[in-house]
Amino acid sequence: MGFARELFLDHEDLSEEFICTICHDVLEDPLVVEHCEHIYCGGCIKDWCEASGTCPLDREPIRVDQLRVPQRSFLNLVIGLKRRCPFAEQGCTTVIELGDTWVHTMNCPANPDYKTECGQGCGAKLTRNEVEDHRCIVALKTQLAALRVELSQVKAEAENSKGRLRALEKMILDRPFDQEMQDWITQMCYEVLKGTPTPRPELR
Ligand SMILES: [Zn+2]
Ligand SMILES: [Zn+2]
Ligand SMILES: [Zn+2]
Ligand SMILES: [Zn+2]
């Protein structure tokens, strides 16, 4: 469950302390066994522990609740390991630290999902695959159609609200309210304008 060694620079010389002896790859989310201080990938040692209840290196009995996060200084060494970009095969030659993998991936121009803005000014965000088939006029027509749908929804909602307001108005006019209710209505109208309506008194 670790990171494949081949991803790392100088992977031939990678220190054994960064290798998980369960999966033989570079430690991923490492955990240390409390009493013997052996370190494994978190996922690897949890699975192992649940299956056999021992530490793989010394066969001593261990429990999952005896696994700890290693010291910060050790974690820093792990996340500082130099690796190749996940899109090296797509042409990215950038060398990154293990801990920067996610941020780099999101911003790597070789990532097929990486988007840049259309150079013709239509504002569309495009992946490299989309650039070839992109026509601004088509993109703008699609955008326009979506806006029309949105507009008709907004109009329908406005109509709906108008209808409810009319019904409320009729209810208020039709009803012989007592003084308390009239006061509340006046108060509510005032407070709705300020944005803080008070709870309605019990209807009688
Ligand atoms: Zn592992
Ligand atoms: Zn051990
Ligand atoms: Zn890259
Ligand atoms: Zn465009």
Question: Per-residue pLDDT tens for 51-98?
Answer: 999 999 999 999 999 999 999 999 999 999 999 999 999 999 999 999
Q: Answer yes or no: is 149 within a domain.
A: yes
CA of residue 32 to ligand 2 center, whole Å: 9
CA of residue 96 to ligand 3 center, whole Å: 8
Q: What is the pLDDT along the chain (204 residues), one digit of tens a residue?
A: 899 999 999 888 899 999 999 999 999 999 999 999 999 999 999 999 999 999 999 999 999 999 999 999 999 999 999 999 999 999 999 999 999 999 999 899 899 889 989 988 888 999 888 888 899 999 999 999 999 999 999 999 999 988 888 888 787 777 777 788 778 877 877 777 776 666 666 665
Question: DSSP labels for 12-46?
Answer: GG--GGGB-TTTSSB-SSEEEETTT--EEEHHHHH
Please return the burial class of 30, using the count of CB atoms within 10 Å of its CB with bins 0-12, 13-18 and 19+: buried
Range of 145's domain? Answer: 136-194
Q: State whether 140 and 75 are in the same domain.
A: no
Q: Answer yes or no: is 118 within a domain.
A: no
Q: Answer yes or no: is 37 within a domain.
A: yes
